[in-house]
Amino acid sequence: MTFTTPIRDMRFILDHAAGFGALEQSGAYPELSEDLTAAILEEMGKFCDGVVAPLNETSDHNGAALENGVVRTSPGFKEAYKQYVEAGWSSLAFPEEAGGQGLPSTLAVALVDALNGACMSFAIGTTLTTGAVKAILPAATDEQKALYLEKMVSGEWTGTMNLTEPQAGSDLSAIRTKAEPVGDGRYKISGQKIFITYGDHDMTDNIVHLVLARLPDAPAGTAGISMFIVPKIHVKEDGALGERNDVQCIKLEEKMGLHGSPTCVMSYGDKGECYGTLLGEENKGLKNMFVMMNAARLDVGMQGVGVAERAYQRALAYAQDRKQGRGAGVKSGEMVAIYEHPDVRRMLYSMKALVEASRAVCYANAVAYDLARHAPDEKTRAEAKAMEELLTPISKAWSTDRANDVTSLGVQVHGGMGYVEETGAAQHMRDARIAAIYEGTNGIQAMDLVGRKLQGDGGAAAKKFIAEIKNEAKVLKAAKREELHHVGERLLAAADALHASTDWLLEKAQENPEHALAGATPYLKQFGNVAGGYYLSKAAIAAALEIHENRDPAYHETKIAMARFFADNYLTEAIGLTDAIMAGAGGVARLDPDLLSA
Amino acid sequence: MTFTTPIRDMRFILDHAAGFGALEQSGAYPELSEDLTAAILEEMGKFCDGVVAPLNETSDHNGAALENGVVRTSPGFKEAYKQYVEAGWSSLAFPEEAGGQGLPSTLAVALVDALNGACMSFAIGTTLTTGAVKAILPAATDEQKALYLEKMVSGEWTGTMNLTEPQAGSDLSAIRTKAEPVGDGRYKISGQKIFITYGDHDMTDNIVHLVLARLPDAPAGTAGISMFIVPKIHVKEDGALGERNDVQCIKLEEKMGLHGSPTCVMSYGDKGECYGTLLGEENKGLKNMFVMMNAARLDVGMQGVGVAERAYQRALAYAQDRKQGRGAGVKSGEMVAIYEHPDVRRMLYSMKALVEASRAVCYANAVAYDLARHAPDEKTRAEAKAMEELLTPISKAWSTDRANDVTSLGVQVHGGMGYVEETGAAQHMRDARIAAIYEGTNGIQAMDLVGRKLQGDGGAAAKKFIAEIKNEAKVLKAAKREELHHVGERLLAAADALHASTDWLLEKAQENPEHALAGATPYLKQFGNVAGGYYLSKAAIAAALEIHENRDPAYHETKIAMARFFADNYLTEAIGLTDAIMAGAGGVARLDPDLLSA
């Protein structure tokens, strides 16, 4: 088995760190029950482990390829995708009126976790589609819904997001793709898009592209961008497939990793015959995009968690198998498994603690996402919405940065074998590396955190969360168990540091916005470390209760050990970031770049 | 130009951080002068920038290949290597009596820096050869010297180190390759070695393998390992090449990066006709290895610095070229170069500060290496030797860990383009990744630091160095310039933390060696951050003096800015590592691995 969905750990974090129990009990999902959740996780595990995970290695060596103008996916992808659709995984969390199953998005997010652990390059195609559905749902006309929605919800057709152009990456204001109305409600689309994930493939009969473009005479900048639905194959009124639209993949990028995921250069209207329809209002294309953005960013955070989990499992297995050296002071006798060496365990515990902490942050974010939309009372919805907004950039950036750390440690645990491609450890590192970049680079996430999120509400949501963390720290400090007390002390100190940074940023950003921009990245890291430590602390308290009740104490002891490891290594790191944050604009004051290059 | 040897920065660090001036003035190298150093650095730059750097990208796409039992190197390597030999770069720092130029190793180390910036996969072949020479020099018989030495010193023939076998990686005690005396002074060698860098290639007429193997009835473990000289082509007494020896490359590893460097599986004695001669004493093979180890480890640290420098140069150029977004609060107008965004500058300054700090650590290590061997008085030699021993694991591990950070940041600065192979940013990250692994993994370096180095002299060398750092911090604190004072405060706090960790480790390791092993990795990082901050602080003081004298103040201001950036971001990080170190054995106490995997 190359990967095993960590169902037990996922469930433990859902229940004891992320507050999934509160969701189950909120009445937001009347049909939800512990048993149903268990059944879904189990089926998810079977599908991911048995069907998807075996594709991962092949997809690296034998990735997507452009052949005669058509993208051929990696061997096995088409068949696995068919099973994914047939089992109903795509529609899990969509509303029943749209053909979905009406379950919490949190479970769909857990699915994203498991799918990415199984095979990141397969998984990303599925989340692009669910993201596109989220953009279409609130904005589409009834006719558009009739034509596209059901088949996208089911996954029978996939969706794409076409944002980037060579001159318009992080800054979409520079988009040049054109859309001209032809008078019958349709628009002629022309232009080139790059970095389009699953822009073409052979897994489904049709692909529905969401394309950002400019109408004639649209205002300059982001206020003049509209979104269009552009199908690969035109759909007739009766739902039957019609003619091929004038859109095609003209190049696949050669990437560092994620070879199974086709990254397409898409050309629209080469023959002047590419037609689409407007989604939502004219010039409000970014609004549609932002509707799906929070969910999409959380999905990317989850990619980081998934691939990190896989890297961890592989490294742990290798460390138990590989024999080198002996214990401290032992000169002869059999070599021991490298797991027995403290420094190797340090690497593995770092991987495990970071995987669990980032999973907990993302799951808590998912629970907030669900409560924000489905909690019965408005106050809960509003509070959850604020929490969702706050956590989203952290889930995205912190989890993917940590995935880079974890997958690199995975290579290191393997020693020289990690650098050789045949072990697969290197693939995880290469695959993971994109997640910190796309769907808004992690720098953009950090600026979103200190800007829109922190300054947007004057720090209210952040301070409420920090107060909650401090309360939890005090609970831990009062515990009789020495480890819990110890974790509580470190959590309190780290939360105090985060509190001070937060106040500093809020105050200084008033003077000069560059103060906040300069410290954004270390602030996001500090916040992520504290949040991760908080959720692991909650898990540790729950574990202590389980131990007290004598329910599988050995397993639950590992949860306390991970909270402690995280506290000693990452909560203390958080405190050290304060100086980097408070150095402010002066800390990265502009120097003449010509003097910085010899 | 894809790479420019940073001659000015190299010289600045040599003179103002690493103490090269002390070496020039020590009398150890009577012919050495400022002008000679300048001339050598300039020629070095011309060769590396003009001849070697253009090979780098091709070597990634069109790497070494095994064709009909022979390794063909990447296009251009053979010609560049010929120029390298003809220009005398190989012999720079070897003694004149061995055919060398008798210059300081520090200059050879600067060459390693520049060569690795130009093309890491080309450079490593050259350092393997100089490493082999260092192992041969003190141990070889006159006959062996006559046969091999001159041609290896000149680089006309290359050398290899054959240590690793599948079951013997970090733990060489498990070596199984056999050597049987045939009675005429020769030994029959049989066995397989893996991960042999430049084990075969087409750049030279001959290759001299140094092979670790066991004599019949040799004691078990490391006490039974001998070293043998095994030429690819036998050399006749008159120096002419004779018959092919029975040794060959039977496989090249497919690696994550460094494709230009052939990583060979070497088979010795397939036909029972592989002959070599004993180098040094029977069963003392590891002693020979350790002779070259310090230098080899420093060379690997330098690889990290070189490839990080290249990644930095590329990222800086991209950030000046790529336009996205506008300044804080600016809504319209032209897009600006991303260098203008504080968060992008944070990434670039991180890269620059880490490159300069790691370069300074390695150069200081090189100066200590030279003084330890060539200082006129014994006291200086002894003190320098202690410093060389202490700094070596830090140079190797800290510089290569930082190279992983820097090259990953280089990808991030490029955004999506960084993940696409055509920009080359990804290659630097993939290439750099090996340096933390080979020549003793960074975990092994950390254990060497807390074990042989720290406990070996009861902490004497470390404490002397820490006292020196504290003195420097006090000088900075007393400075009138606010930035210098600020850096001094942070340096002192970090040095205090390092002092406390050092005392803790020395004390606790007595109780239980696992305390030291458990904290070794964070301790090495703490030490590296403090040492890096120290050398940049020295550079900042020197820069302030230059500014005072009105010598190119703009350039020297960047040195003060880098010291400040390092202090705010990495000296403070050092303090946070104390808890991870002092968590001790309990912090990584053994957990049942089966409970750590779902």
CA-nearest of B437, B428, B252, B175 to A422 is B252
Q: Quick check: is B439 catalytic?
A: yes
Catalytic residue among B439, B468, B483, B573: B439
Chain A residue with Cα closest to B584: A342
Catalytic residue numbers of A read: 439
Query: Rounded distance, CA B33 to CA B27, Å?
Result: 11
- List chain B residues with CB under 8 Å of A597: 4, 6, 313, 316-317
CA A543/CA A17 separation, integer angstroms:
11
Question: How close A326 gets to chain B, by Cα (Å)?
Answer: 9
| CA A235 centroid distance within chain | 32
Q: Which amino acid is at A420?
A: V
Nearest C-alpha neighbor of B492 from the set B534, B454, B462, B528: B534
Of A419, A437, A514, the CB nearest to B437: A419
Distance (Å) from the C-alpha of residue A477 to the closest C-alpha of chain B?
17
In this structure, which long-range contacts are made by residues A223-226, counting pairs with CB atoms below 8 Å and at least 24 apart in sequence? A223/A283, A224/A283, A225/A172, A225/A173, A225/A175, A225/A283, A225/A285, A225/A286, A226/A179, A226/A278, A226/A280, A226/A281, A226/A282, A226/A283, A226/A284, A226/A285
pLDDT of residue A26: 86
Indicate the SS3 state at residue A419: helix
**Residue A307 burial by Cβ neighbours in a 10 Å radius (0-12, 13-18, 19+):** buried
- What the block records as the tokens of B220 is 């078990």
CB contacts under 8 A, A 343-402 vs B, are 343-349, 352
Mean pLDDT computed over B268-275: 98
**CA–CA distance, A431 with A300 (Å, rounded to integer):** 12
Does an H or E element contain A473, and which?
Answer: helix A460-477
Q: Judge if ipTM > 0.90.
A: yes
Interface check A125 vs B, CB under 8 A: no
A129 pLDDT band, cuts 50/70/90, is very high
Establish if B434 touches chain A: CB-CB under 8 angstroms: yes
List pLDDT tens digits, range B454-506: 999 999 999 999 999 999 999 999 999 999 999 999 999 999 999 999 999 99
pLDDT at A598 over 80: no
Q: What is the mean pLDDT of residues A398-411?
A: 98
**Is the CB of residue B508 less than 8 Å away from at least one CB of chain A?**
no
Q: Taking CB atoms and an 8 Å cutoff, what residues of chain A touch B174?
A: 324, 335
Task: Say if B233 is an interface residue toward chain A (CB within 8 Å).
Answer: no
- Mean pLDDT of all residues in chain B? 96
Residue B579 contacts A where some CB pair is shorter than 8 Å: yes
Residue B11 has pLDDT above 90, yes or no: yes
Q: What is the pLDDT of residues B529-550, one digit of tens each?
A: 999 999 999 999 999 999 999 9
CATH number among 1.10.3470, 1.20.140, 3.40.1000, 1.20.120, domain B442-587: 1.20.120
pLDDT given for residue B377 in this prediction: 94
DSSP-derived 3-state class of residue A178 = strand
H-run or E-run covering B178:
strand B178-181
Task: Give the residue among A276, A303, A293, A294 at the shortest CA–CA distance from A172.
Answer: A293
Residue of B nearest to A252 (CA): B420
Per residue in A450-509, pLDDT (tens digit) is 999 999 999 999 999 999 999 999 999 999 999 999 999 999 999 999 999 999 999 999
A554 closest CB neighbour out of B416, B518, B595:
B595
Q: Are A361 and A395 in contact (CB under 8 A)?
A: yes
Candidates A92, A267, A276, A131; CA nearest to A193 is: A267
Q: Is the pLDDT of residue A141 over 90?
A: yes
* CATH architecture assignment, domain A7-151: Orthogonal Bundle (1.10)
pLDDT of residue B291: 87
How many CB pairs (< 8 A) connect A and B? 276
Mean pLDDT of chain A: 96
- pLDDT, tens digit (0-9, with 9 covering 90-100), for A249-301: 999 999 999 999 999 999 999 999 999 999 999 999 999 998 888 899 999 99
pLDDT band with cut points at 50, 70 and 90 for residue B1: low
Most B-contacting residue of A163, A345, A449 (CB-CB within 10 A), to test interface: A345
pLDDT tens digits along A229-247: 999 999 999 999 999 999 9
Give percent above pLDDT 90 in chain B.
Answer: 96
Q: Which fold has domain B7-143?
A: Butyryl-Coa Dehydrogenase, subunit A; domain 1 (1.10.540)
B260-269 mean pLDDT: 98
Per-residue model confidence as pLDDT tens digits over B197-224:
999 999 999 999 999 999 999 999 999 9
Least confident of A321-330, B36-45, B157-166: A321-330
Find the residue in B nearest to A494 (Cα): B576
Mean pLDDT of B573-584: 96
Report the distance separating Cα A443 and Cα A505, nearest Å.
16
Q: Does domain A441-587 bear CATH number 1.20.120?
A: yes
pLDDT band at A1 (very low <50, low <70, confident <90, very high): low
pLDDT attached to residue B183: 95
Of A316, A408, A575, the CB nearest to B404: A408
Residue A340 has a pLDDT of: 97
The model's pLDDT over B362-419, given as tens digits with 9 standing for 90+, comes to 999 999 999 999 999 999 999 999 999 999 999 999 999 999 999 999 999 999 999 9
B554-567 pLDDT, tens per residue? 999 999 999 999 99
Interface test with B, best of A176, A564, A568, A575 (most B CBs within 10 A): A568
Distance CA B147, CA B229 (A): 11
- A381 band by pLDDT with thresholds 50, 70 and 90: very high
Domain range list for chain B:
7-143, 157-284, 442-587
Give the mean pLDDT of B140-167: 97
Q: How far apart are CA A594 and CA A534, in angstroms?
A: 44
**CB-based contact (8 Å) between B340 and chain A?**
yes
Q: Closest-CA residue in chain A for B569? A: A580
Q: Quick check: A399 pLDDT over 90?
A: yes
Q: For A157-284, which CATH class?
A: mainly beta
pLDDT digit string (tens) for A90-113?
A: 999 999 999 999 999 999 999 999
CB contact set of B525 (below 8 Å; sequence gap of 6+)? B398, B401, B574, B577
For B345, nearest residue in chain A (alpha carbons) = A588
